[in-house]
A and B are shown apart, each in its own frame.
Chain A
Amino acid sequence: MSDELDRIRREMHSVLQPEGVRPDDSLKITRRTFIHGSLIFGAATVGQAFAWWPLLNTLDIAHAAETPFKFAWISDTHLYPRSLNTRFVDKVVRAAQEVQAMDPPADFLIFGGDLAQLGKIEELELGVDLLKEIKIPQHYIPGEHDWYLDMGKKWGELFGQPNWTFDHKGVRFIGLDTVSRGPDYWTAKNMTPEERMGHMATLDGTVAGPWAGVGRDQLDWMEKTLADWDKQRPVVIFSHNPLYEYYPPWNFWVRDWREVHEVLKPYAKVTNIHGHVHQVLYNEIGTLRSIGMLATSWPWPYAPEGLPKLTKPMIRVDPGDPYDGVGWSKIDVAANDQLETEYIMWGRKEVFVQSPEDHDKHVSEVIRPRIADNMWPYR
């Protein structure tokens, strides 16, 4: 871990993780979790990164729903026009069919951003067309790939406000826009909308910089939105980016995570469900727990540093199988006030690593940022 990241990580924990503070301790760990392989084989054998938190493909989190219900999550479909790439289309079709087939049905679908790959009207409309096969109510938040071609114009026409809130059966749900407040890297360089989008669409690009953030205005909105909510009642926040610092060079964070946590600190039962990372992730900071979701399009490797120690990594995928390492999630809010998240990873019985060789960091690597986007053509 770099010195700077280490410094920030220590600060994050000193501010938000005083001794004894954890998310609501009514967290339930099921028997299934306890018989997970990492405990059978011994956590020490599978590495420091996932040593002590035995996550399974279900995670039970205490909540206080009035009646049981389910909802579904799909994100990061990254659709190209059908004429260019049908693989991603096929996977959205499959996810939509599976969500629609849930029995009992989900109460609603959350779409977690990056519907399109390059923000084109054709791509966004294709997504709407494919997902209309799901007949339950749908709520959308934007991803950066949806936004930076026309600065959210088409997305807004299709889906309305990028941030929103609603209450459902005793749970307050909040959708955040973590993508639209990126610093202006295009005006001074006279970029075309396509060039602006191209830089934004490159995860490891160096031009768009630290674009992920919530913004003061939205933080104030969130604070007001929560003001009348009982601090012991559950809150579920959806965002495209994680609401903590995992790996800033890939915007696996929001730059104002400190302020986010200041707003959420008084609330005992807060869960953040996010996309963008295309990988299994779990973290706890203060009273907030965060769950990273799979993409339907392709999986990202884990970042070279900063992987939360509470994450039990997902299994190393086969790059020859377009359905490996990707999928969607269903979330059960049970009658006994628990919320259970299940990763539906296509083609895999085991979502999580079973041995050191299953981890994509099993071959150690040192990697460095790219150079060419700074050298050319914008010197």
Chain B
Amino acid sequence: MTTHSKIRCSLRRFPLIGGIAIAAVFAGPTSAHKDPVKPEQLKAYQEVFMEEVRKGDLLFHGDQKMAEQLGVADDLSKTGMACAMCHPMASDTHPQSFPKFQAQIAKFATLRDMINWCIEKPNQGVKIDPESEAMKALEAYITWSNTGSVLQPGKF
């Protein structure tokens, strides 16, 4: 590689590296630009979480409007059954025991795998996208409802 090309290479990186360097000069040490967390931030984070819990609670209890809003109205159940009919207050869902070998599925499974199994088998519905908002909301509700349970990953 010639000297000329080395300089050109460095110049191409300048906008990124240079930008970080300049920002660092003005901001000081790496962590010094961060402010202590503020109560309003915590409140906002919690509100985001609780909104997902609320959505998940409604889905879990068979709320048709919320299922339509999240695009899973035709998927979650085709028997009239809702998750809460076997799991009042999300009991017996045991999110704290995942991941684990799940006997019904006969594989090492996550909570999302088990949610989809319940949708497909007892509810006779159609599996939903594991990354969908509906799945995240269900996961949020189930884990929130089991708050305080001791983590026991892998437990039968």
Contacts and interface: CB of A to CB of B under 8 A. Distances in A.
Interface of A: 80, 84-85, 87, 117, 202-205, 249-250, 298-301, 303-304, 318-320, 322, 357, 360, 362-373, 375-376
B33 interface: no
Contacts of A362: 155-156
Interface stretch (B7-15, B17-25, B36-44, B53-61): B53-61
Contact of B149 (A80, A117, A320, A364): A364
B80 A373 contact: no
Contact of A301 (B88, B96, B145, B147): B88
Interface residues of B, number: 36
A203 B88 contact: yes
B145 A367 contact: yes
Interface string B142-156: 001111111010011
28 contacts: A80-B80, A85-B79, A203-B85, A249-B89, A298-B81, A298-B86, A301-B91, A304-B89, A319-B121, A319-B122, A322-B122, A362-B156, A363-B152, A363-B156, A364-B150, A365-B96, A365-B149, A366-B148, A367-B91, A368-B89, A368-B145, A370-B89, A371-B54, A372-B57, A372-B63, A373-B57, A376-B54, A376-B58
A203 B149 CA distance: 22
Contact of B79 (A87, A303, A360, A375): A87
B92 interface: yes
Nearest to B56: A372
Given A298-B85, A319-B121, A367-B146, A80 B91 contact: no
B94 interface: yes
- Please report whether the interface of chain A is mostly helix, strand, loop or mixed according to DSSP: loop
A181 to B, nearest CB: 22
Nearest to B87: A301
Nearest to B100: A363
B146 A204 contact: no
Contact of B88 (A85, A204, A363, A373): A204
Contacts of B118: 319
Interface in B100-149: 104, 118, 121-122, 144-149
